Structure 1
Amino acid sequence: MATLRRLCLCLCLPLLLPPPAAPAPAPAPAPRTDWAACRSLSRELSRLVATLKEPHRALEELNLSEEDPKNWPPRIRCSDACDPSTLDTNNTRCLQRILQGLQHYRDLLGSDIFTARRLPRLEAALDQLLGLVQQEHGRPSQHPMAPSEAWAHPLLQRLALQRLQSFTAVMSRVFTHSASPR
């Protein structure tokens, strides 16, 4: 009889207990960087910058540089982990630097330096690429550009576009490596 009671208790006990809680929903996966789209847009951006014509003939052969490295815009450095071996394992730091650089150049194109010479196709390409990279890494803080003297705008435009061209060349290499099938 005792055995029958134990058997009954073992069979009925699960019916008396509350139902198990539903499993917690799995967290939504973080958005992933669309490397192929970034590769395509970065190539388009490089192409657009390379095809820009200098409106001031006197500046065509001028290569500008700045003495103070503290004032240099964001650029991709070795310490940003954008090399192929690091990109394969952890690309966060590199993408954050790219995002910072893209935002800097987008802010520059929207500043008073380019008031008289808007570059809508270049701005649109930057906006699209920013949108893709921001999906995963958020928006970096914007730094308003200080107003500049009107006489300096052509020089500052030239300097900004030269640096943007260098930045896009390196950025395109990063996206090309990361978009390649492995």
Structure 2
Amino acid sequence: MDPLRCLRLCLCLPLLLPPPVAPAPVQVPVSGTDWAACRSLSRELSRLVATLKEPHRVLEETHLSEEDPKNWPPRIRCSDACDPSTLDTNNTRCLQRILQGLQHYRDLLSSDIFNARRLPRLETALDQLLGLIQQEHGRPPRHPVTPSETWAHPLLQRLALQRLQSFAAIMSRVFTHSASPR
């Protein structure tokens, strides 16, 4: 076959072949989580915690800290992938951490620490948020709260509510970002 004819065939061959199939788009995990409802409930939770009055005035100026890190409650950390860029592509790890934290604080509110000071509106808000997130991510394991001395309850309540307030603020930011239209 003459070289010029061969060259023409080689050049025309791609025109005769079917177009290449485009690679499948990367699938972003679709979350069944109702972000708008979570945003609303997390804001309500933050508002409720912020409006609680300390029954023991002397504790209002007290800042408590716990030295033993293994007893620290779940916190949202950088490694939990709750930053906006990661939330847009994969929010599973972040939601699991939030679920773990919510369950921890719910267990605290129903422990002996709060026997003398029930907070039903706070418990309801936590239950509702837990319900929304658990629909997709299941229930995290519960860790019973170790009974404490009665004299320490006001201190432990204060510490728990301070930490819940911090947790709720960060959680609310996560839900606000994820609920915003893109």
TM-score range, shorter chain: 0.7 to 0.9
* Paired residue secondary structure (2:90): coil
Moved over 6 A (4+): none
Matched, 1:79 2:79: yes
Gaps of 5+ in 2: 1-29
> What is the correspondence of 1:31-70 to structure 2 with a 5 Å cutoff?
32-70=32-70
Distance in structure 1 (CA, Å) of the matches to 2:120 and 2:146: 21
> What is the letter of the counterpart of residue 122 of structure 2?
L
Distance in structure 2 (CA, Å) of the matches to 1:160 and 1:144: 15
Gaps of 5+ in 1: 1-29
Matched, 1:154 2:168: no
Q: CA deviation at 1:69?
A: 1.3
Distance in structure 1 (CA, Å) of the matches to 2:136 and 2:151: 40
Matched, 1:119 2:119: yes
* Paired residue secondary structure (2:65): coil
Distance in structure 1 (CA, Å) of the matches to 2:69 and 2:166: 16
> What is the letter of the counterpart of residue 61 of structure 1?
E
Match of 1:165 in 2: 165
> What is the letter of the counterpart of residue 133 of structure 1?
I
Q: CA deviation at 1:70?
A: 1.4
> What is the letter of the counterpart of residue 166 of structure 2?
S
> What is the letter of the counterpart of residue 70 of structure 1?
K
Describe the superposition over 1:18-40 as per-residue Cα deviations: whole angstroms up to 9, x where unpaired. xxxxxxxxxxxx87000000000
Distance in structure 2 (CA, Å) of the matches to 1:44 and 1:74: 20
Q: CA deviation at 1:71?
A: 1.0
> What is the letter of the counterpart of residue 138 of structure 2?
G
Q: Comparing 124-133 with 62-71, which one deviates more in the overlay?
A: 62-71
Query: Please, what TM-score do these two structures have when normalized by structure 1?
Result: 0.83
Aligned CA-pair RMSD: 0.9
Query: Please, what TM-score do these two structures have when normalized by structure 2?
Result: 0.83
Residue identity over aligned pairs, in percent, reads 89
Q: Is the 8 A contact 1:31 1:135 kept in 2?
A: no
Describe the superposition over 1:106-136 as per-residue Cα deviations: whole angstroms up to 9, x where unpaired. 0000000000000000000000000000001
> What is the letter of the counterpart of residue 52 of structure 1?
L
> What is the letter of the counterpart of residue 151 of structure 2?
W
Distance in structure 1 (CA, Å) of the matches to 2:172 and 2:57: 29
Matched, 1:138 2:138: yes
Distance in structure 1 (CA, Å) of the matches to 2:36 and 2:51: 23
Q: Comparing 113-122 with 60-69, which one deviates more in the overlay?
A: 60-69
- Equivalenced residues, count: 153
